[in-house]
Amino acid sequence: MTDNSANSMWGGRFAGGVDAIMEAINASIGFDRRLYAQDVAGSRAHAAMLATTGIITEGDARAIDQGLAQVKDEIEAGNFPFRTALEDIHMNIEARLKEIIGEPAGRLHTARSRNDQVAVDFRLWVRAQCDAAITGIEALMRAFLGQAEAGADWVMPGFTHLQTAQPVTWGHHMLAYVEMLARDRGRFIDARARMNECPLGAAALAGTSFPIDRHMTAAALGFDRPTANSLDSVSDRDFALEFLGAASICAMHLSRFAEELVIWSSAQFRFVRLSDAFTTGSSIMPQKKNPDAAELLRAKLGRILGANVALFTVMKGLALTYSKDMQEDKELTFDAADNLMLGLAAMEGMVRDMTANREALALAAASGFSTATDLADWLVRALNLPFRDAHHITGSLVKMAEDAGIDLPDLTLEQMQSVHEGITDAVFEVLGVDNSVRSRISYGGTAPDQVRTQVARWQEVLQ
């Protein structure tokens, strides 16, 4: 006979043998206690419905409601006796309710299962996280709008391949992130609308023979309607996956700007100065001001995307309906939601506090032959040249300037005419970076007036 309790693989932590291991792997109370408010809300709505439909008495429903209110108060006061042996938040609350009100507590679970109970609790929690994400995104959008409005006409280099491409405005660059975040906001709004159906009443998997009113509980919990298929109700977590998908895309956008902040705050760029609140010093190099918050935020995407991939992996092989594997959905989603909200708050603080170095931006905007495209466009407009010819002429002028160690606006008219005799001194009106950005008047372009128009539009949307 094998002595399981002595198995060295289990070690001292599981000295109790199989029972200790099973309790540890089966219990979820260590993390699903976060669902206490949703569990209480769902149970109170369920009890009220049971009384209205005559399944339990009004007296039992009142006792249950008062007892659940006390349970919620105890949890929020830190006085609740959580017990791992009771596995999860649902059983912990039900056991404590029985201690408080006695026999009526046993009637609460009529016409429901832990399967539909956890489904409604988790859906309520994820729905609330969508709301929180929407609020956080809107706050960050306002921070970017503040920067865009202040720097609507500040010139800076626009990049492709991290190489200077064309001059743009600081405001235009900030608005690019407003647009990204607006789509993130839309994804959370869409996800919330899709998940706003109530699974309570699906019971274990097949519904119930009791004459329940699922529309009543759905309305009480703020859902648009009850779910229409009991099997689907308890077996899918696509609402959590959709939340994680939206969170992953949003975190990717935050990570991209975090990367720009790391680059821009370096001594080589000096485009921005981050506040002391979001930077740290070096232990041995007193001149350093490290963008630690941006670097950490850049890394948060890994955890959020990891949660997304992990839950997909959990769900992909599960036959209908409920399997214990699905207990792994919560820790992943909790962690992703926490990190997303932290990332949004940190980024809002960094964007609001950062100071753009207007002089460094303008100096960089004027380097790297950034107005070459403006020169080519001028050749098309003024000399009626095909764009490909204009592109070739401009390339020759760029090489001439590069060989001379100067920028395009520093070439003389005679030097330009040596490449194409039709060039006139009017060309110098388009070669300055300020002239360049002012000329980009197409809808959504970088011209200051376009920037101010978009700022005003978004400010109105976010009111």
The three-class DSSP label of residue 17 is coil
- As a whole number of angstroms, the distance between CA 289 and CA 274 comes to 9
Widest CA span of the chain, in angstroms?
A: 101
Burial (CB count <10 Å: 0-12, 13-18, 19+), residue 383: middle
Which residue among the candidates 5, 266, 282, 396 is catalytic per the annotation? 282
The half-sphere exposure of 25 on its side-chain side, counting CA atoms within 13 A, is 10
Residue ranges of the alpha helices (H) in 58-153? Answer: 58-77, 89-101, 114-150
User: Is residue 109 annotated as part of the catalytic site, yes or no?
Assistant: no
Distances in Å between the Cα of 32 and the Cα atoms of 164, 318, 327 are 50, 21, 9
From the CB of residue 351, how many other CB atoms can be counted at a distance below 10 Å?
Answer: 23
Nearest to 327 by CA among 245, 237, 198, 243: 237
User: Is residue 420 annotated as part of the catalytic site, yes or no?
Assistant: no
Q: Compute the CA torsion angle 111, 113, 119, 124 (nearest 10 deg).
A: 50
**Residue linked to tokens 């023979």:** 209
Catalytic positions: 161, 282
